[in-house]
Homo-oligomer: A and B are copies of this chain.
């Protein structure tokens, strides 16, 4: 199946299913029905079945889905069976929180390079990673050391950092600065921003 035939929304849900399936496996269950999974992630079972059906037939009727192979398959689809190397730019509050994020120690994502432009920080080690000068971004990234960039710098510097990362060959970016950045089409960029989420939240709340 071609990638562009898979609904965007389906792809967005796969990581959520995966997270849940991993938890189920830890609890010792080896199969799960679309109904049970639906309860755990608060969605309709039909949606889950349809989503999974885009990639093949994993379930056995009357029984459900085998958890382990399903996890492996989703990991494959999401390319989580590869090793991804990241560059973190900005070691302020957000940056250092990310460095000590437990999810980065195990798993397929590894922070390989760390950058900042504060002379106080450059050369020091933070959480066991040496901080490089931000002016070196393009050079170091260019050596193919990383594929993904994480931007955790003040707003006004975000755009510039993004351009440097792309110039170095990065093709995916997570941006924590609340600014829209548009780049060449084959660089994918995702935004993480608490004030956006808070605004979405307050829309639904009557004070």
Chain A residues close to B by CB (< 8 Å): 11-12, 14-16, 18-20, 23, 39-42, 77-80, 82, 84, 93-94, 96-98, 100-101, 103, 107, 109, 147-148, 171-174, 178-180, 182, 188, 190, 192, 194-205, 207
Contacts and interface: CB of A to CB of B under 8 A. Distances in A.
Contacts of A97: 93-94, 96-97
A177 to B, nearest CB: 11
17 contacts: A15-B195, A19-B179, A20-B180, A39-B182, A42-B180, A79-B205, A79-B207, A82-B207, A93-B97, A107-B195, A148-B201, A172-B204, A188-B201, A188-B204, A188-B205, A190-B197, A192-B197
Given A93-B97, A178-B19, A204-B172, A199 B42 contact: no
Given A93-B101, A195-B109, A196-B16, A202 B42 contact: no
Nearest to A40: B180
Nearest to A42: B182
B199 A78 contact: yes
A205 B171 contact: yes
Contact of A196 (B15, B79, B98, B107): B15
Nearest to A181: B42
Given A12-B200, A171-B205, A174-B201, 16 more contacts: A11-B203, A14-B203, A19-B196, A42-B180, A77-B203, A79-B202, A79-B203, A82-B207, A84-B198, A93-B100, A97-B97, A101-B194, A147-B207, A172-B202, A172-B204, A190-B201
B192 A192 contact: yes
A94 B103 CA distance: 13
Contacts of A192: 192, 194, 197
